[in-house]
Amino acid sequence: MKLIITKHNLGLWAASYIRARWAAREKDPFVLGLPTGGTVVEMYAALSGLVKNGKMSFKNIVTFNMDEYVGLPPEHDQSYHYYMKHNLFDHVDIVPQNAHILNGQATDLHAECDAYEAAIKQAGGVDLFLGGVGRNGHLAFNEPGSSFDSRTRVMELTESTKQANSRFFGNDPTQVPSRALTVGIGTVLDSKELLFLASGESKAEAVARLTQGEVTQQWPITALKTHPRAALLADPAAASALTGPAKEQLEQALLRQPEEDVILTL
């Protein structure tokens, strides 16, 4: 996998990458896996801008979101349905039936998860899966300990994730739903290409795990290392805890060309 450290705006970087991959697509529809979270708000604003300026269209794009809280109605302002509607779908020309998000209010959650896996297959698999990273290294809502071949399922959230996400729930972790539906790590790894984003010091430990120690289920982020076309895009703060040879390579590259992106192959 590649670790890309950039001083540029992560959202603009990722949006322009998505546009390039969409423009070079080999088939229609182009299938995107999509995340939520603070890190990717600017990415969605940038994508909306590209569509507004006629540089991109979502008409031939099918999307699958990574996760959704169990029990929150779509109109709840912390549901991922709400997030996607307000950050992206209301601003682009996507065909509404092409935008898929797990239904955390389904009466049969397991059937909902199975149907989601089937819908991804039916769409021809995900071409490019975008993602964020949890402070504890989680991908989507795959908490530490999740198997790398896990599929879409119900996940019990850890205290650390509830604590991290409580900032969206009046800083009260007890208000954060205790369960979520999430695509599995195996579902993500099945995609043709992966681009994950990490910003800020709170993600530094998770990013550093990519450069130290082994691939382990205790750090779901390390699953990216098992994929042939995966990249993690990090800002300098998220890359501030690298150690050993990766740290040296980063420092040397920044001395040579301080404003250039640094690409480390891990």
Applying CB under 6 A, among 48, 79, 150, 161 the residue interacting with ligand GLP is 161
Buried b (16+ CB within 10 A) or exposed e, 191-205: bbbbbbbbbeeebbb
- Residues 54-73 within binding reach of ligand GLP (CB under 6 A): 66-67
Q: At CB < 8 A and 24+ separation, what contacts does 69-72 make? A: 69/104, 69/176, 69/177, 69/179, 69/180, 70/104, 70/105, 70/109, 70/154, 70/177, 70/178, 70/179, 70/180, 70/181, 71/104, 71/105, 71/177, 71/179, 72/104, 72/105, 72/177
Minimum CB–partner distance for residue 258 and ligand GLP (Å):
26
Q: Does 35 bind ligand GLP (CB under 6 A)?
A: yes
Q: Smaller CB distance to ligand GLP: residue 67 or 235? A: 67
Whole-number Å distance between alpha carbons of 104 and 102? 6
Q: Smaller CB distance to ligand GLP: residue 15 or 247? A: 15
Applying CB under 6 A, among 136, 141, 183, 242 the residue interacting with ligand GLP is 141
Contact code string over 101-140 relative to ligand GLP, x by CB under 6 A: -------------------------------xxx-----x
Q: Does 195 bind ligand GLP (CB under 6 A)?
A: no
Q: Smaller CB distance to ligand GLP: residue 60 or 201? A: 201
Q: Does 165 bind ligand GLP (CB under 6 A)?
A: yes
Minimum CB–partner distance for residue 255 and ligand GLP (Å):
30
Whole-number Å distance between alpha carbons of 140 and 149? 14
Structure token pair of residue 202: 């709170």
Q: Does 220 bind ligand GLP (CB under 6 A)?
A: no
Q: Is 194 helix (H, G, I), strand (E, B) or coil?
A: strand
Q: Does 191 bind ligand GLP (CB under 6 A)?
A: no
β-strands 262-265, 2-5 pairing? antiparallel
Q: Smaller CB distance to ligand GLP: residue 60 or 158? A: 158
Contacts with ligand GLP by CB under 6 A lie at 35-39, 66-67, 132-134, 140-141, 161, 165
